Each structure stands twice: as C-alpha cells, then as structure tokens.
Structure 1
Amino acid sequence: MATPAVVPTSNRQPTTAVAPSDAGVVAAFVPNPAFRSFLNQIIENVRNGLSQRRPWRELVDRSALSKPESLSEATLRIRKNYAYFRTNYYVIIAAVIGLSLLSNPFTLCLLLALLAAWLFLYVFRPVDQPLVIFGRVFSDFEILAALILSTVLVLFLTSVGPLLVTSLLVSVAIVCAHSVFRVPEDFYFEEQQAQAQAPPTGIISLLTGAATKAAAAPAAASRV
C-alpha cells in the first residue's frame, strides 16, 4: 500500500512590503545613530550648562537694585552682570521665546515641522540613501533648495518670523533692564576673570557644540 505524499507546510508570517516609491521617505524619517548622538549631546551639554547657573534668589535680590548714575556705569554693569548671570539670562531668553511659541500653537507646529524637515531630509539623511517620493529621486541640491525656499516662506510669510523677533526683543529688553539696575558685587571681578579664560558657554554654544560633535558621525559628515 503506497504511503500518501506529505505536503510541506511553512509557518512564515506574511510580511508587508514597502512600495519602492515610499522607501526613501520612510528611511529619511527613521532615526539614525547620528541623530541619536546629536540628541544625547544636546541633553548632556544643556545639563552641564544649567549646572553653571547662579542662584535665582541672587538674581532677584531687590536690595541689590539701584539706578545707575551715568551711561558708563550702566554699560559696566551690563558687562559684569552678563559675565556673572550669563546662564540665567539665556534661560530667561529661552523661557520667553518658549512661552511665546506655546501661546501660538500654529506657529509652534510650523517651526517644529520646518526643523524636522531640515534634520531628517538633509542634515541626518544618510549619504547613500537618496530621497524618493512618488517614484522620483530628488538630488541634494533640489532638497536644499526646497528647504531654503520653505524656510524663507515660513519666516517671512507667516507669523513665525514676527513672533520670534518680538519675543527675542522682549527677552533681551528684560535681560538688559536687569543688568542695568543690578549692582555688581565685589566677587564679580574674580568670576569675570575666570570666565574670560574659560571656553564660551550658553544655549547657542551648547547647541553648536552638539551639532559639531554629531557632524563627526559618518552618516552626516558630508552635510553638517
């Protein structure tokens, strides 16, 4: 009696294939090691920068406030107070700009979308990974031109630009007013000399330092 043939079976699960036209778009938004390194470096640098801030009660000490007697004295106070309260002033500026953006969600969404487009479509997109949208391959020059044009349109034809400029001017005015009326203490001189020999710190230098270190990654070395 013949033995019936055994039909081979397979337990493989069906996989969902990604259309070739969408592969470039999906790959562009997948976080890569360079982007993760960039975020980790920003968090580390911001944490180190915030650790150098002065006590806030020292910043708002009313007994140390007085009107300057001359313009030269006001200028000297600004220089000394900026050297001493530099990190606190950066925090105030960032807080004012952040509150201004939170008060206008549409502007915040536009700014975040613009930042994400720059990061994922140009800065941290792998060199050997072309951007393919609807079956069309876009070159680096086309992507850069589109991003620059989008940035100009967002900043000058929407409320993003005026809001950023206004909030920046308001925050700088607050910082200048405090530094003019805050009487510097004697220990400012030692702090100012120590900081003159130290590398620059602050929110801008923290971000630029993080971007420079992240640019050393192979995936982003040709663009950053």
Structure 2
Amino acid sequence: MATPGTIPMTSSQSPAGNGTQSQPPIATPAFRAFISRLTSSIRLGLSRRRPWYELIDRTAMARPDNLTDAYSRIRKNLSYFKVNYITLLAVVLAFSLLSNPFSLLVLLGLLAAWVFLYLFRPSDQPLVIFGRTFSDRETLGALVVLTVFVVFLTSVGSLLISALLIGVAIVCIHGAFRVPEDLFLDDQEPTNSGFLSFLGGAASSAAAAAAPAVASRV
C-alpha cells in the first residue's frame, strides 16, 4: 500500500530501467585517443622535415654520370629528405583524389565503414541491417571483401596506383639529379624517428584503441 503523499513507482521509473541505457555507437574515448595520437604523430613528423629550399636548390642540380651514380644519389637523398618525399607523395595522392571526388567519397565511405562498423563498435551491440542481425565475423568478412573489391577491382584502385607511381617517379627523378655532397648526411636521426615513426605510432595507436573491441569479438 502506498503511503499518503507518495507517488507509486511504475515500471518505467524502476531503478532497473534507469540502469539500461543505450551506449554510443562507437567507443568515444578510444576514438578520441586514436585521433589525438594520430594528429600529434603527424605534427611531430612534419616538424622534422628538411628545409624546402634545400630540396629545390637549383644550384645543387646536376646530371648523374651513370646509373650507379644516380642510384647512389637517390639512396642518400631518400635518407636525408625522407619526410619531404613522403609529404610530396601525400600531396600527389591528395591532388589525385581531389581531382576525382567520386573516388575520394568512396574511400572516405570505406574508412567510415571500418571505423564505425567494426573497430569502434561495442561488441555487445550487434549489427542489424534491414532487420537482419550480422555477427562480428560476418561483418569483418563483408568489410574485407568490400575493401578488396574497392581497391583492386574498381577505378579507385587504379587511381591510387597511378598517383603513387607518379609520386615515386617524381621522387626518383629529383633524387637522381640532386647532388647530395652539400647535405649533412652524417647527422642522421635514429631509424625509428622522423616522419616514418608516425606510421608506426598511428598503427600502434589504432591497434591499442581497437584491441578491447576486437578481442571481445574473437
């Protein structure tokens, strides 16, 4: 019996009902940590690039004597200008994607599918599409098949390969004609530093952020 002055508790107001709340579609703290680690790694890598005037110094350009001399120059310039060269490759790739908005949208959609449907989706929330529930293995298999199809069987893959080949050709031509004698090749950074460390840092960050979700699905 309810005492005077009190309101009977209904089922919708029960403590058990308050405990069952819908979780966000992605693990927000892990996603934010991944983005923060990625941006900081990119900034760290870009801060270690060589001055651009050294890269485009016309007085240091000369034709190589032979293929051996060209290969030696490319190897030394790659070691010295690695951050600048990777930035140049990224610019060529970005320009190619911006010139083809359809391919850019397809890649962004593919990335969003991986992020929101598998990597950062809570394991206790099954994926339901058109009333059908998909298991984690079915979701992973569908994403892998979709990625292979987009990258290797559509014009998006040919665009990426063409852009990378153009970027590599530009880097090799510059490296062959840039005389490295005036570069401080002895003052090199450790192998795991520089812009290349951003790749490893971003990969480890993504693995660490997605590990709880992936491990719970295995």
TM-score (norm 1): 0.79
Moved over 4 A (4+): none
Q: What RMSD in Å do the two structures reach over aligned CA positions?
A: 2.3
CA distance in 2: counterparts of 1:136 and 1:39, whole angstroms: 32
Secondary structure of the equivalent of 1:189? coil
Secondary structure, counterpart of 1:216 in structure 2: helix
The CA distance in 1 between the partners of 2:206 and 2:54, in whole Å, is 36
How many Å apart are 1:120 and its aligned residue? 1.3
Structure 1 segment 1-224 matched on structure 2, within 5 A: 27-28=24-25, 30=26, 32-191=28-187, 194-195=188-189, 197-202=190-195, 205-217=197-209, 219-220=212-213, 222=215
1:55-110 CA-to-partner distances (Å, cap 9, x unmatched) read 11110000000011122211111111011100000000000000000000001000
8 Å Cα contact 1:82/1:89 also seen in 2: yes
Consecutive unaligned residues in structure 2, runs of 5 or more:
8-21
Residue 17 (structure 2) aligns with: none
Measured in 2, the distance between the counterparts of 1:187 and 1:60 equals 13
CA-CA distance at 1:27 after TM superposition: 4.3
Alignment length (residue pairs): 196
Distance between the aligned counterparts of 2:199 and 2:120, measured in 1? 16
Percentage identity across aligned positions?
54
1:148 alignment partner AA = V
Q: Normalised by the size of structure 2, how large is the TM-score?
A: 0.81
Contact 2:38 2:205 in 1 (8 A): no
Task: Give structure 1 stretches of 5+ with no counterpart.
Answer: 1-5, 9-22
Structure 1 residues 91 and 104, CA, compared in 2 at 3 Å: closer, same or farther? same
